[in-house]
Chains A and B, each alone.
Chain A
Amino acid sequence: MLGLNLPVVIVLAAIGGVLAWRRANTLTWLLYTWVALWAFFKYGFAVPIPQSVATIYLGITGLALVCFASSSRERLSETVQPIVRLILEPRYRLALAGLLVALPALAAYNVYADLNVPLEAPGFGREVHPPPPTEMTVHDETVDMATAENPYLHYKHDDPELYGEHLENGRRVYYENCFWCHGDGMGGDGMFAHGLNPVPSNFNDVGTLPILQSSFVHWRIAKGAPGLPGAGTPWDSMMPAWEKFLTTEEMWDVNLFIYDFNGYEPRALGQH
């Protein structure tokens, strides 16, 4: 449910319930919160969350707990008192000895666990959208990325019949060349998609086509993976540079078609 590992969530909630029932002190609650969240991030999701994100979350949790524990003199005293009693009172001597063994053992286990992982290539952050150049040359024609627009878009209002022809040509180009990877419905789930990492762009996504000017899409079609910028991160993509196979008109037509098919308008120049 909701992508959660329910047994883990139930166990963690049950422990919390027991602590509430036993009216646990502040220190116990603080320790429980941190450990429970650590367990939740590590085991609580059906698809484990990346370590980098879990570290951010646990860092925030740690900061928040320190703030809470020291947010008043009374609360700080409540938090610290059990630790002072554990150290000073003879009746806790055994527990203290156990803790003195357990803490280094935990640290040692942590080192062991960190080192005992299979070797694998380092991961890299991925850019959501690669930054386009300020201008590019396609079939000996310079395209200003800031101002270029689909030259056939205006036919939508000016000459719907001609617009339909361009759209039809775009459909043909798409289903001859693009659908293998981007899919029948443009969901990025074509028949070759399962073999690609990262998966092909999903044009249904509300966060992709509508926030891009048509010049950006034209750049991606024309230049493909070889034209991606080197800045940032290594980029894996199998997108061919379609300028080598298609005419400029065909590329603008397919650009027109993917917007039209998904019911989106390209982001206008100067639009926020």
Chain B
Amino acid sequence: MTRNRILFGIGVLAFVSVIVTVRLGGFLVDNEYRQPDRQVAAQEELGEAELVPRQQGIADEQAADEAEARARPYEEAEYRTVPFVGSRVTVWVLAQLHLLFAAFVLAVPLFAFIIEFVGYVKKEERYNKLAYEFTKLLSVSFSMTATFGAFLTFALIILYPKFTNYLMHIFSPTFLPYVLLFFLEALFLYSYYYGWGKFGPKMHLFLGFMLNVVGTAIMFIANAWLTFMMSPGKRDDIDGDGVPDFVSAVSESGALLSLRDAFFNFTWMPINIHRIIANVAFGGSIAAAYAAFRYLQAKTDEERAHFDWMGYVGNFVAIIAFLPLPFAGYYLAAEIYAFSQTLGIQMMGGTFSWLFVLQAALIGNLFLGANYYLWLGMGRMEGGVHFQKFIKWLLIAIALCFAVWATPRYAISSVSEIAAMGGSSHPQLSYLGQMSAKNTAVNILILSTYMSFLLYRRTGRQSIHPHRQLLTRAQAIVFSSAAALVIFYGVYGYFVDSATRIRFAIPQVYSVLAALVVITVIDLPLYRNAAQSGETKWGRIPAVSQYALIFIALSFTWLMGLMGYVRSGLRQEWHVYGVILDTSPDAYTPSLGFATQVVSVTVLIFFGLIGVVFWLSSLSGKKDYAPGAAPEDGGRIEGGQAA
């Protein structure tokens, strides 16, 4: 009985609860604050003139905001931000992508023109085909360059409006010539590409030549803008005391004093030289990566042979340009140091010096990759085994030099390691962290790579020159003398003062360059019309070699991104060094780890985009679509007049 009463009581309570909840809900809904979507109904209910107090409050606030907005004077924004990524990283990535495509577009015509010229002189059609194959990459890349250039310009105007306005104040007279040159670049590029086989050889070569002239001029103008940000003026001995004085191109407040000094500023020419050489090395490596991509896709021996040769030539171009690159880099660094000890110390002794250890690792990888590719290439020729025994010694030399170059002066050490060493530097290894050791290492690396090339060139060939023994000995003497001289200056550098030691870099460089020139001059007649012990079988190279080419291209790209960051980041909190301060929230030097991550992501984006370029470029070699026909998956080799 009691149980039934309890159950009844619960039932009544539940019923009452439901009723109360429904009524309460109804009351709350009826008396809630009117939301905007119900405002109309409320208005109708209450009549036009009456507003609930909340609505009245909102209406008053809106009216006040509007009145304030109307009364607010126009203020120019100094900076705008990008959510999540930030303005600096946005501009950084866009500038880097623009530069990578631009470098490629400037470099490829340079060696395409040279290859076409060689084909014209030697009357060999295959060179013409090869030059055309390289040029096919240009069309899409040019569009990419322009797209990222526009994107970067908009990003600068939107995100750094005040600073961009300042640059316009300084460089506006250079913009019109720049645009005009860009127009001419498009004209020459497309007439060079689409006019392949449509003009006479001389006319076509002229178009290629003009394409290079215009492209270089464009780069020189853009270089003035960016180098001005680092060195806004020049050094000149104006008082005749033998000590260079700083001649600023702008006043203390930033007003332009001399466009000429702003344009031809202190670091302009070193950057020009460094970029021309680096562009060719980079462009060659990307073109070689394209060839590797096509080689790995190839279905026939003919395709493999063609793209193997293309990869070889692209890599050859890259390595030839790469050999003098450390000297150009050294020149640029020395000029930066000479311009400002703060920048110089920041770069080589301060925070950024750790990135040079990474640079050493990448350059060491490049040398190793380049040599490895040449060694694998010996497999194309009969009789390649003869030179295989030298590879071990070359490898030892390269690995040793690589290790020396990657040795930091002050190692990253644990507390116990520092205690054991008695300081931050190791008593023996710290010698390898000094300039004498580094200069020696890079020069020996260059000589070793050249030696690999000489061995490759000799593989399967026998000189028939009447003085071959004498000439070969002369080459050996020149090579050994250069190596001995480099090592002598390297060791002697430890016993002299730093000013003298720095000057030792010059005879080291000259002895290596002289050796390269002299040995090449001897080698050309020595192996002209040489007897072939076997046929060169293009396409008969292990597939791993193609991955080496892609690795080299990747390393070059990474290196450009990394060193570009160093050059740009050196200014630290300055937009224009010493003149315009960066007052944005991003005005701090990011950690090295973050910087390398940004560079890595940029490189990945670039390779994603260059993959699109490769794919689009390879479409032109495919058969036309025909309904019902079997899909065609292999690329056809096409070549201008031959196509």
Q: Which residues of A (54-68) have their CB < 8 Å from a CB of B? A: 56-57, 60-61, 63-64, 67-68
CB pair B345 A53 closer than 8 Å = no
Complex interface: stretch among A11-19, A130-138, A168-176: A130-138
Among residues of A, the one whose C-beta sits closest to the C-beta of B570 is: A131
B282: CB under 8 A from chain A?
no
CB pair A211 B398 closer than 8 Å = no
Q: Which residues of B (357-398) have their CB < 8 Å from a CB of A? A: 361, 364-365, 368, 371-372, 375-376, 378-379, 384-385, 388, 391-392, 395, 398
A151: CB under 8 A from chain B?
no
Minimal beta-carbon separation of B274 from chain A (angstroms)? 16
CA distance in complex: A98, B223 (Å): 63
Among residues of A, the one whose C-beta sits closest to the C-beta of B385 is: A74
- Which of A49, A61, A134, A211 meets B429, CB within 8 Å? A49
Minimal beta-carbon separation of B494 from chain A (angstroms)? 8
CB pair A232 B406 closer than 8 Å = no
CB pair A72 B426 closer than 8 Å = no
Q: Which residues of A (99-130) have their CB < 8 Å from a CB of B? A: 118, 120-130
B86: CB under 8 A from chain A?
no
| Size bracket of the A interface | 35 or more
Which residues of B sit under 8 angstroms from A91, Cβ to Cβ? none
Which residues of A sit under 8 angstroms from B417, Cβ to Cβ? 48, 50-51, 123
B484: CB under 8 A from chain A?
no
Which residues of A sit under 8 angstroms from B421, Cβ to Cβ? 47, 50
Which residues of B sit under 8 angstroms from A72, Cβ to Cβ? 375-376, 378-379, 384-385, 388
Minimal beta-carbon separation of A197 from chain B (angstroms)? 7
Which residues of A sit under 8 angstroms from B348, Cβ to Cβ? 128
Among residues of A, the one whose C-beta sits closest to the C-beta of B357 is: A56
A216: CB under 8 A from chain B?
yes
A128-B410, A146-B340 known; A64 vs B244 contact (CB < 8 Å): no
CB pair A52 B413 closer than 8 Å = yes
Task: Give chain B's interface secondary structure class.
Answer: helix
CB pair B542 A73 closer than 8 Å = yes
The proximity string for B residues 323-362 relative to A, scoring 1 for CB distances below 8 Å and 0 otherwise, is 0000000000011011111100110111101100000010
Minimal beta-carbon separation of A35 from chain B (angstroms)? 16
Complex interface: stretch among A80-88, A238-246, A263-271: A263-271
CB pair B406 A56 closer than 8 Å = yes
B642: CB under 8 A from chain A?
no
CB pair A47 B350 closer than 8 Å = no
B411: CB under 8 A from chain A?
yes
Minimal beta-carbon separation of B363 from chain A (angstroms)? 12
Most buried by A among B341, B402, B408, B416: B341
CB pair A48 B420 closer than 8 Å = yes
CB pair A134 B342 closer than 8 Å = yes
Most buried by A among B235, B354, B426: B426
CB pair A75 B426 closer than 8 Å = no
A72-B378, A212-B341 known; A231 vs B589 contact (CB < 8 Å): yes
Task: Give chain A's interface secondary structure class.
Answer: loop
Q: Which residues of B (510-545) have their CB < 8 Å from a CB of A? A: 542, 544
Among residues of A, the one whose C-beta sits closest to the C-beta of B407 is: A53
- Which of A52, A63, A211 meets B411, CB within 8 Å? A52
A234: CB under 8 A from chain B?
no
CB pair B410 A47 closer than 8 Å = no
CB pair B429 A128 closer than 8 Å = no
B629: CB under 8 A from chain A?
no
CB pair B414 A120 closer than 8 Å = yes
Which residues of A sit under 8 angstroms from B402, Cβ to Cβ? 60, 64
Which residues of B sit under 8 angstroms from A270, Cβ to Cβ? 235, 243-244, 338-339
CB pair A272 B351 closer than 8 Å = no
Minimal beta-carbon separation of B502 from chain A (angstroms)? 7
B77: CB under 8 A from chain A?
no
Minimal beta-carbon separation of B256 from chain A (angstroms)? 21
24 pairs, CB–CB < 8 Å, chain A vs chain B: A2-B428, A47-B427, A48-B417, A49-B411, A49-B428, A50-B413, A50-B426, A51-B417, A52-B411, A53-B408, A56-B361, A56-B406, A63-B368, A67-B372, A72-B375, A125-B410, A125-B412, A126-B410, A131-B342, A212-B341, A216-B345, A231-B351, A231-B589, A269-B235
For the complex with contacts A270-B235, A272-B337, 17 further pairs of A-B residues with Cβ separation under 8 Å are: A50-B411, A52-B413, A63-B365, A64-B399, A67-B368, A118-B416, A125-B410, A127-B353, A130-B345, A199-B422, A206-B496, A206-B497, A231-B350, A231-B589, A271-B338, A272-B334, A272-B338
